[in-house]
Amino acid sequence: MLHLIINPNSKKTKKHLGALEERLRAEQVPYEIHAGEGKEGTRRIAGELSKSPVTIVAVGGDGMLNDVLSGISVMENVTLGLIPLGTGNDFAAAADIPAGVKALDLILHGEPRPTDYIECGGGMRSMNIAGLGIDVDILERCYRLGGNDKSKYFRSLLAALRSYKGQHVRVTADGETFEEVAFIAAVCNGKKFGGGIPICAPAEIGDGKLDLVVIGCPKRSRLPLLLFKLMRGKILSEPIARHILCEAACIEQEGEFVQLDGELIRSNVLNARIEHGKLNMYRGQDG
């Protein structure tokens, strides 16, 4: 039995749900659809389902996947699938999961694989990337713009670059502590955020490590070059970039929000640790 958790208000989900159900019926796979009304509703459903052994399929984007992951009450009971129907689908790209109905091939005919995720404390988890800095500024602008088109992230990025002055952070990882005025400070399981921006090309979702990335705030004259390198996946070659492989990290800030897989959470501290292979998930190769 597959338990599909959907956002009933998602236009993409409404568009593809019929094809998903048709495929499941054709292969005679029993399934049940659960409509998650908002973040709390989705987490509540995932929590109830995971009290017993279950296969849950998150239908949506990185935000839906985060809500399902964060709602799971007994991780060892769950085998997780993903039908990527979001705007960015950044974790799906890292996990080699095809978009849309094609993702059912992995779920129906593949084998689940041990997969890492990030535990952030207080019931918060991240499947892909958690952090703070200009990405929080960008997300706040995205929310004000409304809608769900991919271009709004890049428009918000360009707007944020004109005014962002950096965020003072104190970072502790594997016994080392340092301070920085950061452009971005993030812990990565996946490689990309914001609909395909490769913040940490070396990251692997099954290596048992957090990729801590801290980018210092550059001079304004260097922003165009920094943006170019960020979009090309070359940001870690910059002298102002630090890349640390670790199992746990703490980022303290003066700001009010952190982002977990594109979802804003009110907190001035991000405590993160990698949970190595503790989630069984239908996915492709680490990519």
In a domain, 243, yes or no: yes
91-131 per-position pLDDT tens digit = 999 999 999 999 999 999 999 999 999 999 888 999 999 99
Least confident stretch, 17-31, 114-128, 159-173, 189-203:
159-173
Q: What is the 3-state secondary structure (H, E, C) of 10-30?
A: CHHHHHHHHHHHHHHHHCCCC
Strands 197-198 and 192-193: antiparallel
User: What does the pLDDT average to over 191-219?
Assistant: 93
The reply to whether 259 and 149 lie within a common domain is yes
Evaluate whether residue 285 is within a structural domain.
Answer: no
**Cβ neighbours of residue 90 closer than 8 Å, sequence gap 6 or more:** 62, 128, 129, 190, 191, 192, 193, 194, 195, 196
CATH number of 204's domain: 2.60.200.40
Distances (CA, A) of 140 to 72, 120, 221: 27, 21, 25
Helix (H, G, I), strand (E, B) or coil at 53: coil
Residue 57 lies in a domain: yes
Give residue 285's pLDDT: 74
> Which residues on adjacent β-strands are paired with residue 252?
170, 269
Question: Among the three residues 89, 121, 153, which one is the final residue of a domain in this structure?
Answer: 121
Query: Do 150 and 79 belong together in one domain?
Result: no
Kindly tell me if the per-residue pLDDT of 192 is higher than 60: yes
Q: What does the pLDDT read at residue 227?
A: 82
Q: Which pLDDT score, from 0 to 100, does residue 140 have? A: 82
Instruction: Burial-class residue 85 by CB neighbours within 10 Å (0-12, 13-18, 19+).
Output: buried
Q: Is 161's pLDDT higher than 80?
A: no
Position 157 pLDDT exceeds 80: no
Q: Which domain holds residue 57?
A: 2-121
Residues 136 and 109 in one domain: no
Please check whether residues 100 and 183 belong to one and the same domain. Answer: no
Answer with the residue of higher pLDDT: 166 or 259: 259
Residue-wise pLDDT tens digits, 231-271: 899 999 999 999 999 999 999 999 899 999 999 999 999 99
Mean pLDDT of the residues in the chain: 92
pLDDT in tens, 39-51: 999 999 999 999 9
* pLDDT of res. 272: 97
The confidence score (pLDDT) of residue 159 equals: 74
Q: Pull the structure tokens for residue 46.
A: 């995932």
Same domain, yes or no: 84 and 160: no
| H/E run at residue 68 | helix 62-71
The pLDDT-based confidence of 287 (bands split at 50, 70, 90) is very low
Distance CA(206)–CA(201), nearest Å, equals 14
Residue range 64-92, pLDDT digits in tens = 999 999 999 999 999 999 999 998 899 99
Q: Which residues pair with 4 in a beta bridge?
A: 33, 57
Domain boundary among 71, 90, 121: 121
State how many domains the chain has.
Answer: 2
Distance between CA 50 and CA 73 in Å, rounded? 6
Instruction: Write down the pTM of the prediction.
Output: 0.92
